[in-house]
Structure 1
Amino acid sequence: MTLSDPAPLQSDSTQINQTHSSRACANCSRAKVKCVVEGEDGGKCQRCHRLKRSCEPSTAQDRHQRKRKPKSSLNATKSNVENLEHKLDGLVSLIKSTHDHTLRDVNLGQNFPTSTRGSSISTQRGPTSPPGFAAAQTGLPGNPQQPSLELDTAVPDFVEANILLNFFRDEIIPKFPFIALPPDISAEKLYATKPFLYISILAVTVHDSAQQITLGKRVMGMLAKKMCYHHLKNFPQLTSLLSAGLTLIHDLGLHRPQPKVPTSRTPWEEALWDMCAVTQSPTRSARTLEEQRAFVGFYFLSSMYSKFCRRVETMQIYSPYVEQCIKDLEQSGATPSDISAAALVKQQILLERIHQSSWQHKWEPRELHSSTMLMFGVFEQDAEQLRQNLPPLDANSAFIHLHFHATKISLYEISLCESRTTNEAFSNFTRVQLLCNSLDACKSYFEVFFSFPASDYLKVAMPTWPSFRHTLTNLLALSTYENVEWNLTLVRESVNFIAVVDQAIERLESVASLPGYEKIDMFSRTATAMNRVKNFLDDKIFKQAEAAARDASQREVFDPSTRPEDLSQFFDFFDDTLMGDFVELHYQSGTVN
């Protein structure tokens, strides 16, 4: 047989096709492997023979035709894909806005990332959903180009914010002139440049208790986030919250002039300069007016509270640089409030010096030393010079007059001191003169304080209340001071302590009756506390004193050993109510009752 003869090959091929079925056996079909028949008789396949299994042909199965999805299902799938893509785009925008927000948080004075806002009457309120992530956290207005999903009704819109901003500029700044706002600045511009100051102004100017509480929580949340989470130390924090702490003053270097780089330095000075971490040369030769306002404002607040309250310890930050800042503010004439700020700080400097004298040491028995009257004479001359420079009394300068009278009251507290050395004690005539001056200062203080309408008590700065408590304490001391030449009956006819407290209670209650303060407010709580203290003092002191005056035989029954300085603890409720209880009441729980 030759290769040219195809018959045998054709015969073999035909035999294989006949003996080998076109389908694999059942075992190979299930295993999805090639099925090769072993031998020409159509016996077992090689795999079944090797595995010693029965080789059975597989049964044919009809193929099921694949059903096509309806057109509506395809549209639904396409819609789901589009929704997924939309969500992914939102996540990308959120991540990007969060990254931008982190970069911009380096400076509180810069803009927050853009946020969404609603349209028509609900526009300009802050949303709480992406992509305006940062604005959602603060509730501040944002970019008006996109619609808002959730509106924050606690933050007033720009129309109302402009009204509140004008109110703050015209009514509050004259009474606390350590914040300067240009007359042409709008709410939109202030928000864009200083968002933290913007929300702080709204928090103190809205006349609704619930809204004030909400905005106050937001301010504290923003401050805590910036200081505790981001660990930021910058100037806008200080200008927005002047009493944030002495640490910020020193960290920012505002307690001293701008350091000057020596023109020529020896190698030793060069090494010291580098070792002290002075790595960058000052870019400015002097502090800005805004920095000086912040420093003297912090000095005023810290000194005021340390002198009139026991809540804050004395912080010795006074230096000649304070007087330099005052001089710069007076000479600049940048804003009218700078003149008022300089006047207040001058009075506070005198008050600091008075409280460093021997008769102001509350932890020791008050007594007079040989140099006391000499110091008193100098202080009295300084007070007279400040009086001559007082501006005319009006609504804007009332706080300056109140603080001046409070300074004089502290000065004339020397009249309540007792000298252990009779040779150095002043005469009874001199003492009575000083007592009369102190009484006149108290009377002048209350005349100014009660000249305000009820709505103006919402505008007064917080340092007014400690000075008011301090004046009440001194009036109580003058009304109970035992001296042969001091006629207590005439004192009470001139300025009656109980009548003054009743008038204060009436004013506070009238403030509490204003719209927005019906349920929760510090004024009605303070009025209630004052009424309890007044009743106690009236029963324990004044009624006993009046009975002793009517019956000379009972004079020994009335014990004057309870000194006025011991009774001053009853007036610490001002600090606790205005700065402690009120904060605890509203910030301890998350809801308003």
Structure 2
Amino acid sequence: MKPARIPGGTPAPYGRACVNCAHAKCKCILLPTGSGCERCQRLGKECRPAQTVRRRNQRSSASKFANLEAKVDYVLANYPVLQGSTISDLPPDWDPAGLIQSHSDAADQSTSVIARTATSLSSLSSHDETPYSSRNIPEYHDVLSLLYVPPDMAQKYLDQFRTYHLQYFPFVYIPSAITSDELQAKYPFFWVCIMDVLTTKNPEKGDSFRRINNHIHQRIMVDVAPSMDLLLGIMTFVSWVTYTKRPFLNSYTHILMGVVAELGINQGIARENSIMQDYKAAMGIKQSQPAIRTLEERRAVLGCFLISSSVALSISKIDAMRWTPHMEESLSVLAEAKECQEDEILIALVKSHLVLDRSYFLRRDGEAINSPSFYLNIFKAQLDSVKQEIPPHLQKHRVIRLYMYNADVTINEIALGPSAIPHLPDLQRLDGLYTSLQSTKSWLDIWMEFKPEQYFQLPSTVFFQFIRCIINLYRLTVLEDPAWSQSVVRETANVIEYLDRNIAMLNNCPEYIALEEGKEMNMLEKGLRMFTGLRNTWEPKLMELWGLDMSARENDGSMVVSDNMLPPCMPLTQIEEAWMLEFLGSM
């Protein structure tokens, strides 16, 4: 029966709101023409009517408990028989063979690690079932309703993501032959997160963040349904989402590590039964055969380590993911597989952060204070070894250079501490300070090569590096030490000039800079606010330090002050944490 026509200008009846209004939880006001609603017309969206679906009666909790009790009674009644022989009338999903046989089958495999390693995204056309799919895991047919992107734009966004974004953080390999529809069918949540990252001018960014955040919470905390789709989606969400006002990276880093642990991809195939596995075998519960680790899983776990290490180094509230022998093996497997050049980049980035992770633990526990020169030499030697292992064709790669310069800056921060012998020059410490200065300058020079629109392609790990370098340069500029020359720092790398150049570059991008009241700020708007706040806070002290007249800069117009861009407070004592909380919204 054809539904009755609803007069225009009136709210849609219950259950008749369009898809966009229903997801945004907004009132759906129908147009007089009957061709859509006012909200979709105002936002320029395709107005799609909601499909009415009759809900089926779900099984009651009482029936579920009754079924569970029947299974327990069955096991208790037949437990002696389960130990001795196979029962023909066991439920189909129960197998008294247990996990022991599956482990022996896995141990009998004698092929090489490379031959036993398969890829996932590169074989989407086969539609093989992933090792995490289970009839006990809820299906999420509504995951694609979190964000709507037209098919032609979705393909464009996917091409941009794998070409530009993944070069700075290659945690996944998406072959060029994979289309948006294929990726959407295989990994719907991962696809949604990619689309959300690429829609930089979406007026409903806050709503999409809330919907994705709620979906992650539902999958992790309520349904306890980890999957590779969820893991890749969260990694994308964490690495490129910067428009949220609340800090979330600490929590989400723990969530990432929890998903990795649940999937078990940070460990190799178990050779010994755990207590839980022995218990299930004794109870006759069928055990799934251990899955062979794929290249996709190996990349993902290394990417999670890189995220957790970057967050640990920048925030100092958590520790990086524990490094395991399987993760060490994954470095070798990816290097031998040579499936894509991005794997070589990922290996180099992870190895550099392994060195930084060791230095972080020493500084966190206060051990580096006693013998700073000794530890400096150790970490420099380890980092030099990592640099020597980088293939020649990647030595000048921009991403490799960014991470290696950042590693130099991070390691040599030990030299910023007090000298081991007071009132006496420490040549090794001075060498560390000058190395830190040169590496900071080199990193910032690469940063200045980026165009403003390329900032949207950079992951949070690179923005952490920028914060570290700009703060390190300021600390070197104001460092008071008889053996240290502040004038040399100013002549080598003037921190005010770097901030001025960044501000001027962002001011030339009015299409990205709006600074509207109540609107979620994008990365460029947050960056402009941060650069301006840094300069207006640091400049008075630096002008006094350099013996320059600040009023002359104010009169010649070189100093730009805008009340809209200044944050409410600029505490220098908490700069590394509070400022990134305020401006990047990700700590």
TM-score between both structures, scaled by the size of structure 1:
0.63
Q: Offset of 1:174 from its aligned partner?
A: 0.9
Give 1:219-298 correspondences, 5 Å limit.
219-242=212-235, 243=253, 244-260=255-271, 274-275=278-279, 283-284=289-290, 286-298=292-304
> Which residues of structure 2 form unaligned runs of 5+?
5-43, 56-138, 236-252, 550-570
Cα-to-partner distance string for 1:409-467 (whole Å, 9 max, x where unaligned): 11112322224556xx9844433322111100001100111111121111001111111
Counterpart code for 2:378: V
Correspondent of 2:325 among 320, 329, 332: 320
Aligned position for 2:123: none
Answer whether contact 2:155 2:179 (CA < 8 A) is retained. Answer: yes
Give 1:287-436 correspondences, 5 Å limit.
287-310=293-316, 312-357=317-362, 360-361=363-364, 367-369=369-371, 372-390=372-390, 397-421=397-421, 427-436=425-434
Counterpart code for 1:487: S
Distance 1:337 1:394, change over 3 A: closer
Cα-to-partner distance string for 1:252-300 (whole Å, 9 max, x where unaligned): 22221111258xxxxxx9x996138796656346421122122111111
**Aligned counterparts of 1:545 and 1:325: Cα–Cα separation in 2:** 51
**Aligned counterparts of 2:539 and 2:404: Cα–Cα separation in 1:** 29
Give 1:7-22 correspondences, 5 Å limit.
none
Distance 1:365 1:546, change over 3 A: farther
Counterpart code for 1:247: G
SS of the residue 1:236 aligns to = helix
Answer whether contact 1:208 1:516 (CA < 8 A) is retained. Answer: no
SS of the residue 1:356 aligns to = helix
Q: Offset of 1:184 from its aligned partner?
A: 0.6
SS of the residue 2:211 aligns to = helix
Cα-to-partner distance string for 1:203-262 (whole Å, 9 max, x where unaligned): 111231415444433322332333344332223211221343322222222221111258
Distance 1:206 1:353, change over 3 A: same
Answer whether contact 2:165 2:458 (CA < 8 A) is retained. Answer: yes
Answer whether contact 2:379 2:411 (CA < 8 A) is retained. Answer: yes
Counterpart code for 1:225: Q
**Aligned counterparts of 1:377 and 1:313: Cα–Cα separation in 2:** 26
Cα-to-partner distance string for 1:20-56 (whole Å, 9 max, x where unaligned): xxxxxxxxxxxxxxxxxxxxxxxxxxxxxxxxxxxxx
**Aligned counterparts of 1:383 and 1:127: Cα–Cα separation in 2:** 58
Q: Offset of 1:138 from its aligned partner?
A: 4.1
Correspondent of 1:472 among 470, 473, 498: 470
SS of the residue 2:289 aligns to = coil
SS of the residue 2:170 aligns to = coil
Correspondent of 1:176 among 169, 176, 192: 169
Aligned position for 2:105: none
Answer whether contact 2:440 2:469 (CA < 8 A) is retained. Answer: yes
**Aligned counterparts of 1:137 and 1:512: Cα–Cα separation in 2:** 37
SS of the residue 2:547 aligns to = helix
CA RMSD of aligned residues (A): 3.8
Distance 1:139 1:273, change over 3 A: closer
**Aligned counterparts of 2:230 and 2:433: Cα–Cα separation in 1:** 44
Aligned position for 1:72: none
Answer whether contact 1:457 1:511 (CA < 8 A) is retained. Answer: no
> Which residues of structure 1 form unaligned runs of 5+?
1-78, 84-121, 141-151, 263-268, 550-565, 584-593
Distance 1:124 1:395, change over 3 A: farther
**Aligned counterparts of 2:548 and 2:513: Cα–Cα separation in 1:** 46
Q: Offset of 1:180 from its aligned partner?
A: 1.6
Q: Offset of 1:303 from its aligned partner?
A: 1.2
Counterpart code for 1:254: I
Aligned position for 1:532: 533
Distance 1:218 1:507, change over 3 A: farther
Distance 1:417 1:408, change over 3 A: same
Counterpart code for 2:210: K
**Aligned counterparts of 1:448 and 1:334: Cα–Cα separation in 2:** 28
Q: Offset of 1:199 from its aligned partner?
A: 0.8
Correspondent of 1:498 among 490, 493, 496: 496
**1 or 2 for the larger relative contact order (CA 8 Å, sep ≥6)?**
2
Aligned position for 1:49: none
> If you compute each CA radius of gyration, which structure gives the higher value, 1 or 2?
1
Answer whether contact 2:526 2:583 (CA < 8 A) is retained. Answer: no
Q: Offset of 1:365 from its aligned partner?
A: 10
Counterpart code for 1:367: I
Distance 1:533 1:327, change over 3 A: same
Q: Offset of 1:325 from its aligned partner?
A: 1.5
Cα-to-partner distance string for 1:296-340 (whole Å, 9 max, x where unaligned): 111110111011124x41245123332211111111122332222
